[in-house]
Amino acid sequence: MLHMAAVHPNQIRFDANLIRRYDGRGPRYTSYPTALQFTERFTGDEYREFALQSNSSDRPLSLYVHIPFCRSLCYYCGCNKIVTRNQERVSRYLDYLHREISMQAGLFTTSRRVTQLHFGGGTPTYLDAAHLGDLMATLERAFAFAPSSEREFSIEVDPRTVDEQAIRFLASLGFNRLSLGVQDFDTAVQRAVNRMQSEVQVRSLLDAARAAQFKSISFDLIYGLPLQTVSGFERTLDTVIAMRPDRLAVYNYAHLPARFKGQRMIPAEQIPQPDTKLAILQQTITRLSAAGYSYIGMDHFALPDDELVVARRNGSLQRNFQGYATHKRCDLIGLGASAISHVGDSFAQNAVTTQAYEALLDDGRLPILKGLAIDADDLIRADVMQALMCYDSLQYAEFDRRHGIVFADYFRAELERLAVLDRDGLVQLADTHIAVTPRGRLLLRSIAMCFDRHLADADVNERFSKAI
């Protein structure tokens, strides 16, 4: 595999000055091009063509199911969610979701197995056992699931919505990976963001998940939340490290109250100063590294025997909408309001509001609102991003062979931009390859931005959060 030679699984160097200098706003590149490039010129009919054509490939399928409902509002949240207790509204949404599942399934041949499935939200565990069971049964009837041993089926779990029995139930439905939204164990911080959940609660769910043989258990943490301090977050890290989840995603809180109404509940003066945030990040990296976690890239850490680390070693790691995945490219079918599909060389996004989503299905149409047919140039650029964000390196010779280009000529302007980052120590530009340095690994998005030809069109300050 081309990228592996320069992979240093655990090397990461915290450089506060560099981070301060490069702390600009930018995309997270869970896709390239990013969703900002999607347009309404791309229609459901076009998506249908891409889907039918994709059946000539042997790529397996990956399903993403969006459950937008939550029981209460976490003030920091920037997700597409609906806070409601109205069960009628939930049941109606699920009826439409079942309809969409059967329309989508009709586009794909049953020889294409579903190897990956992810329930995200909102709060997937907002649904009760009957709804979850129905949904899984519909998916399994509509699509051909791969044998259990080849499945990577994951679900986002809000610890406040489940008990040990519910965890066992999720396992019985076939889920074998889960991520728990922890954020911070500090009760003052939890109160400030309106999300109270105890260590005891999380510990009991973790124990239940291990007993139910979930293969990979992930925690989400957030730094930069109101009232967070270095010492408070250190206690959270102590607890987390003692619990030893297989994976950790440590996200930066982006305070954008103009865009996310709920964030207006957070007084600006409660948000830690940039230097405190940096100190929390540094401490997080130091503590997790000392505890044996490898840095995967872009907010993600994993224990050395976790599949993400193995995938990084054997060349099958992928950057995707959930962060990173361990399988080589699948065709991704997004189901539910706002969900994004990535089929063949296309992206398609469903209508974001449940009303618009349901209205399109009422018309007998796929609920796709916008998307993009990815052109040849963006496919090459997306491959550059994958190499840099998954493997921290890119070898020109193999890349040129694969794409029929001469990298140095094709990306002359980009390499000039990257030369500045080379002088600053984020990357090393050699005659044969680009290598991300241990310092640059925390600034992957600044590096990737050099190859993004659409950035000039985007209002970067408005649309994106800061890198750190």
The footprint of ligand SF4 (CB under 6 A) covers 70, 73-74, 77, 79, 81, 121-123, 158, 181
CB of 190 to ligand SF4, least distance (A): 12
Q: Indicate the residue among 31 and 123 with the shorter CB distance to ligand SF4.
A: 123
Q: Indicate the residue among 32 and 185 with the shorter CB distance to ligand SF4.
A: 185
DSSP letters along 335-366, please?
Answer: ESTT-EEEETTEEEEE-SSHHHHHHHHHTTS-
Q: Indicate the residue among 158 and 307 with the shorter CB distance to ligand SF4.
A: 158
Nearest to 79 by CA among 18, 15, 156: 156
The answer to whether the CB of 161 falls within 8 A of the CB of 123 is yes
**DSSP summary character for residue 311:** H
Other Cβ atoms closer than 10 A to 333: 26
CB of 260 to ligand SF4, least distance (A): 10
Rounded Cα distance between 247 and 131, Å, is 28
Rounded Cα distance between 401 and 190, Å, is 52
CB of 253 to ligand SF4, least distance (A): 11
The answer to whether the CB of 294 falls within 8 A of the CB of 303 is yes
CB of 206 to ligand SF4, least distance (A): 18
Q: Indicate the residue among 173 and 222 with the shorter CB distance to ligand SF4.
A: 222
Q: Indicate the residue among 60 and 121 with the shorter CB distance to ligand SF4.
A: 121
Q: Indicate the residue among 220 and 424 with the shorter CB distance to ligand SF4.
A: 220
The answer to whether the CB of 258 falls within 8 A of the CB of 219 is no
Q: Indicate the residue among 150 and 163 with the shorter CB distance to ligand SF4.
A: 163
CB of 343 to ligand SF4, least distance (A): 26
**Amino acid (1-letter code) at residue 442:** L
Tell me if residue 428 falls in helix, strand or coil: strand
CB of 249 to ligand SF4, least distance (A): 13
CB of 345 to ligand SF4, least distance (A): 31
Angle at 126 between CA 120 and CA 127, to 5 degrees: 95
- Contacts for 92-95: CB closer than 8 Å, 24+ residues apart: 92/358, 93/68, 93/69, 93/336, 93/337, 93/354, 93/358, 94/127, 94/131, 94/134, 94/135
Q: Indicate the residue among 217 and 449 with the shorter CB distance to ligand SF4.
A: 217
Nearest to 218 by CA among 152, 150, 135: 152
CB of 20 to ligand SF4, least distance (A): 28
